[in-house]
Structure 1
Amino acid sequence: MSEDEKNPAREVIADYAGAHFRYFRTADGTVYAQRNGHPVARPIRSQGTTGSHRQELMVGLYRDGIGVFNGTAMKEALDLIEALALTEDVQPVHIRVAPGFDGATWLDLGRDDGQSVRIHPTGWDIATPDPREVCWRRTQLTGELPMPVKETDGKGIDLLFGLTNFANAQAECLAIAWLIGCLGPSVPVPATFLTGPQGAGKSTAGRMLTRIIEGTSGDLRRAPKDEENLIAAVAAGWVTALDNLSYMTPDLSDAMCCIVTGAESVKRALFTDGDVFRVSYRRPLLLTGIDVGVIRPDLAERLLPLRLERPRARRTEAELWADYEQALPVVLGSLLDLTVQVRAADAETPTDLRMADFAHLCAQLDAATGLGALAAYRAGLDDLNDDVIEGDLLAQTVLRHAETITPGEAQRMTSTEWLLCLSLLHIGEEQRPVPKGWPTTGKVLSDRLKRLQPTLAARGVLIDTGRTKEGRYLEMTRRVPAPPHEQLAL
């Protein structure tokens, strides 16, 4: 009798796995296992503490009375399963939210039984998704959400804002728009920035907004010190909430821009020479802080500032969170009701804003409720442009020079000539020195002005580049002011 006939353990494991699990691969080649009829999928090579597929197999084989197998047999069976799964069709896995069939979207409640919320054009309901429609991926950051309450008549929204300290109705309607955007798997939403004086409850409000989507275990985190750790945290959850930011480095600012609009990170796979590991991500961000210093123009276009104020009366933490946990099912139900209404509303897409998808969502929210979210969003972006200008001496100098240009006319010079012109304007009659960080060459100036283009355009100053036979040039134009009736329309 051959050795294989004496010890068919790997075949027993493989047969059991094929009868009880479905195996498939994602676009990056990772193989996942999904128990028959259950929407949660686990990577077969996972060694994580959230429950690996290896553990699933071991428990199933033991409980079904088949036996306990050694590590060698399990490894050989998993190697075979992985090789066979690489020939299967590609299917994506999702964290927390996912697109479904027939225009529906799904929200993972994080429950062991796999029950989820299906949001469809005519309403929402609780169901277990077909494994071939939605595959959920769970991590340690995937908290459980309560069963949402139906027919709340909007009471949950009032309950939520009764527990938070938003400064005005504009901040509240933008918070609603952001939460609705978080339920859309294909809608990039700006990074919500909760700001206000010390003691305004920014961290508490951030936790409350986060836990509506991520469950009661969702919490705020300190910003990682490097981009790699930030990406790892972002990829493991849906909403990433960073608390008490006081300073934002250029690298962190650029990373946040990528997280909001989407990017991919590629690095060498462990224990290999040529294989790579890909991580694609686009996630909702939530930030809290009193002041983060100078905001870069590209991040300013992707921020959603929401101001809070100090409460008139304080409550204990225990009382506040007890009320929140009691209200959460109603809050979630009201948010789902409103999401259905907003998605059904017809509205034009504003074409002048960077985050056009979110601007369209604000317009839909206005059409459904009349809250004025789009006007509030524009006002918030205008305030951020002021912050960018106040923190950038070059932008201030450009705007001062633009006042000398006749509206509608263009002024064209080389980047070196512009550098001399703007430097002399900044030095002025007082002969003050140029500040640290001032452009030192025409190329540096050109790059800085390209980054400032959206901020300057919001103040009516257009920067363009081009080339003639003599060489490259920078062109500055002061926009002709719109007639009063058009300004009112905007």
Structure 2
Amino acid sequence: MSEDEKNPAREVITDYAQAHFRYFRTADGTVYAQKNGHPVARPIRSQGTTGSHRQELMVGLFKDGIGVFNGTALKEALDLIEALALTEDTQAVNIRVAPGFDGATWLDLGRDDGQSVRIHPTGWDILTPDPHEVCWRRTQLTGELPLPVKDTDGKGIDLLLRLCNFATAASESLAIAWLIGCLGPSVPVPAPFLTGPQGAGKSTGGRMLMRIIEGMSGDLRRAPKDEANLIAAVAAGWVTALDNLSHMASDLSDAMCCIVTGAEDVKRALFTDGDVYRTGYRRPLLLTGIDVGIIRPDLAERLLPLRLERPTVRRTEAELWAEYAEILPVVLGSLLDLTVQVRAVEAETPTDLRMADFAHLCAQLDTATGLGALAAYRAALDDLNDDVIEGDLLAQTVLKHAESIEPGGNERMTSTEWLHLLSGLYSGEDCRPLPKGWPTTGKVLSDRLKRIQPTLAARGTFIDSGRTAEGRYVEIARAGNPPPNEQKQMF
């Protein structure tokens, strides 16, 4: 055979790759490879030590007797494949949970055979999804889940709650609502904060909750020291669980708010001058700790406090986790049964809560089971508002002054005048010094009041601002007298 009749190695590789793999791009331009008939997709530029498409292609070429090729030929072939894939239609890749056709959602079991759970309006099934419907992305954080058991009659939920040390039925109902929310790809859910006395099993309870979704390999981790590492860990998994928090810095608090409700991180792409790499993320978050100190108001609206108590009987770790691994298929099956049941009912969406999607889910859960999750959620938010106020001296001072305003009345001043009035009210007749962090200018006071505005509104004190011909103003108003039945409930 003449040299002209020989196919270059890059063409041999390209022909083999296009015959055995499907290549497509995502909305951000990343090209993925998907083995024919298999739902797992891998980025073709991944250089990971295990499971990269480059290795997958090399192994296929060798096992099928095509040959062993050098790195240059592989690179040239992948460059061509990537360029061709950029002209294809876009498709999303998902980690662990994904939307499907006809109102269904999918749960990735993390299995090598690609079997997943399809949750649809009439039930759930274990299937291998059509690659055009669902493309799974796997990372080192994607653990394997057991095949869930059908027809459990709710037994798994009871088994789970028996192992967890929740102090109240309210915490149990909120934990169940959160787990159902984790199975929804488009529902932002507040972050459970497992708290309780020392020895209450907060870390163990956190592991049990997250491993229902992430498998037995899922584990808690310490909070990263910087936001970049936190975002990288969050984007690579589904449930992120941070253990033993004792302090909540402002940067970490802001990052957690973004994780719960969704955000996008943009960085310069490596080895480029002007291109960027986008990472979008919205993930379920779980926290444990005894006390994190002062909680910022915006994070408080995104938290879900779950109280635990010390167990009366202690068990060994080996015994506890052996039982948990045994019941996990039943627990997952019961959770899937309950998810189908909850999604099938209609319920009114509360319009006064920030996490309206989760509040609606709680209302659906109440309609389906009567657990009282929505009332528990409202009570939990009320407790968090108390925590925010107890940690904010400015909020306490504003509420104290609001008591002097007639119900239904208001007072309007400039921010500088309000600063002088509130500072004098805090200092009192004994002229005690202002605390560290107290606003020093009217502008700083105005910004602080905007931040604590939702917390104050929950206590019947409303902050507003605007401009008149004389200049800017800040208004503090007090709610009118509540109806008699609400007055009784306040005490």
Interval containing the TM-score (normalised by the shorter chain): over 0.9
Equivalent residues, number: 490
- Note if contact 1:50-1:139 (Cα within 8 Å) is conserved in structure 2: no
The aligned counterpart of 1:118 is 118
1:35 counterpart letter in structure 2: K
The aligned counterpart of 2:404 is 404
2:376 counterpart letter in structure 1: A
- Note if contact 1:50-1:138 (Cα within 8 Å) is conserved in structure 2: no
Distance in 2 of aligned mates of 1:42 and 1:253: 33
CA deviation profile, 1:347-405 (whole Å, cap 9, x unmatched) = 10000000000000000000000000000000000000000000000000000000000
Distance in 2 of aligned mates of 1:472 and 1:425: 22
The aligned counterpart of 2:205 is 205
Residue 343 of structure 1 aligns to a residue in which SS?
Answer: helix
The aligned counterpart of 1:62 is 62
2:73 counterpart letter in structure 1: A
The aligned counterpart of 2:392 is 392
Distance in 2 of aligned mates of 1:305 and 1:114: 35
Distance in 1 of aligned mates of 2:57 and 2:6: 22
Q: In the TM superposition, what are the counterparts of 1:418-433 in structure 2 within 5 Å?
A: 418-433=418-433
Report whether the alignment pairs 1:380 with 2:380. yes
Classify 1:4/1:198 alpha carbon distance in 2 versus 1 (closer, same or farther; 3 Å).
farther
Q: CA deviation at 1:174?
A: 0.2
Residue 106 of structure 2 aligns to a residue in which SS?
Answer: strand
CA deviation profile, 1:413-454 (whole Å, cap 9, x unmatched) = 000000000000000012100000000000000000000010
The aligned counterpart of 2:81 is 81
Classify 1:296/1:462 alpha carbon distance in 2 versus 1 (closer, same or farther; 3 Å).
same
Q: CA deviation at 1:487?
A: 6.8
Q: In the TM superposition, what are the counterparts of 1:333-372 in structure 2 within 5 Å?
A: 333-372=333-372
Q: CA deviation at 1:50?
A: 3.9
2:312 counterpart letter in structure 1: R
The aligned counterpart of 1:275 is 275
Q: CA deviation at 1:234?
A: 0.2
1:456 counterpart letter in structure 2: L
Q: CA deviation at 1:345?
A: 1.1
The aligned counterpart of 1:434 is 434
Distance in 2 of aligned mates of 1:4 and 1:54: 28
Which runs of 5 or more structure 2 residues have no equivalent in the other structure?
none
Which runs of 5 or more structure 1 residues have no equivalent in the other structure?
none
Q: CA deviation at 1:485?
A: 3.6
With structure 2 as the length reference, what TM-score do the two structures score? 0.98
Distance in 1 of aligned mates of 2:455 and 2:489: 21
The aligned counterpart of 1:186 is 186
Classify 1:487/1:219 alpha carbon distance in 2 versus 1 (closer, same or farther; 3 Å).
farther
Classify 1:488/1:93 alpha carbon distance in 2 versus 1 (closer, same or farther; 3 Å).
farther
Q: CA deviation at 1:315?
A: 0.4
Classify 1:334/1:428 alpha carbon distance in 2 versus 1 (closer, same or farther; 3 Å).
same
CA deviation profile, 1:266-287 (whole Å, cap 9, x unmatched) = 0101111101010000000000
CA deviation profile, 1:198-234 (whole Å, cap 9, x unmatched) = 1000000000100000011000000000000000000
With structure 1 as the length reference, what TM-score do the two structures score? 0.98
Distance in 2 of aligned mates of 1:391 and 1:5: 79
Q: In the TM superposition, what are the counterparts of 1:308-327 in structure 2 within 5 Å?
A: 308-327=308-327
2:339 counterpart letter in structure 1: T
- Note if contact 1:50-1:140 (Cα within 8 Å) is conserved in structure 2: no
* Stretches (4+) displaced over 2 A: 1-7, 484-490
2:378 counterpart letter in structure 1: R
Q: In the TM superposition, what are the counterparts of 1:295-310 in structure 2 within 5 Å?
A: 295-310=295-310
Q: CA deviation at 1:489?
A: 10
The aligned counterpart of 1:132 is 132
Q: CA deviation at 1:49?
A: 3.1
Q: In the TM superposition, what are the counterparts of 1:83-122 in structure 2 within 5 Å?
A: 83-122=83-122
2:111 counterpart letter in structure 1: R
- Note if contact 2:408-2:481 (Cα within 8 Å) is conserved in structure 1: no
1:125 counterpart letter in structure 2: D
Distance in 2 of aligned mates of 1:133 and 1:435: 57
Superposed CA RMSD in Å reads 1.3
Distance in 2 of aligned mates of 1:219 and 1:351: 35
CA deviation profile, 1:24-76 (whole Å, cap 9, x unmatched) = 00011000000011000000000113401111110101111111111111110
Distance in 2 of aligned mates of 1:170 and 1:307: 9
Residue 270 of structure 1 aligns to a residue in which SS?
Answer: coil
Residue 126 of structure 2 aligns to a residue in which SS?
Answer: strand
Residue 124 of structure 1 aligns to a residue in which SS?
Answer: strand
2:336 counterpart letter in structure 1: L
2:91 counterpart letter in structure 1: Q
Distance in 2 of aligned mates of 1:13 and 1:101: 34
Distance in 2 of aligned mates of 1:54 and 1:268: 24
Aligned residues: percent identity? 85
Q: CA deviation at 1:6?
A: 4.7
The aligned counterpart of 1:23 is 23
Q: CA deviation at 1:237?
A: 0.1
Distance in 2 of aligned mates of 1:299 and 1:389: 13
- Note if contact 1:170-1:376 (Cα within 8 Å) is conserved in structure 2: yes
Distance in 2 of aligned mates of 1:487 and 1:330: 46
Q: CA deviation at 1:2?
A: 8.5
1:346 counterpart letter in structure 2: E
CA deviation profile, 1:61-97 (whole Å, cap 9, x unmatched) = 1111111111111110000000000000000000000
Residue 306 of structure 2 aligns to a residue in which SS?
Answer: strand
- Note if contact 1:267-1:278 (Cα within 8 Å) is conserved in structure 2: yes
Classify 1:2/1:303 alpha carbon distance in 2 versus 1 (closer, same or farther; 3 Å).
farther
1:42 counterpart letter in structure 2: R
- Note if contact 1:199-1:310 (Cα within 8 Å) is conserved in structure 2: yes
Residue 88 of structure 2 aligns to a residue in which SS?
Answer: coil
The aligned counterpart of 1:220 is 220
Q: CA deviation at 1:8?
A: 1.3
CA deviation profile, 1:296-347 (whole Å, cap 9, x unmatched) = 0000000000010000010000000000000000000000000001001111
CA deviation profile, 1:76-128 (whole Å, cap 9, x unmatched) = 00000000000000000000000000000000000000000000000001001
Distance in 2 of aligned mates of 1:274 and 1:222: 34
Distance in 1 of aligned mates of 2:283 and 2:419: 39
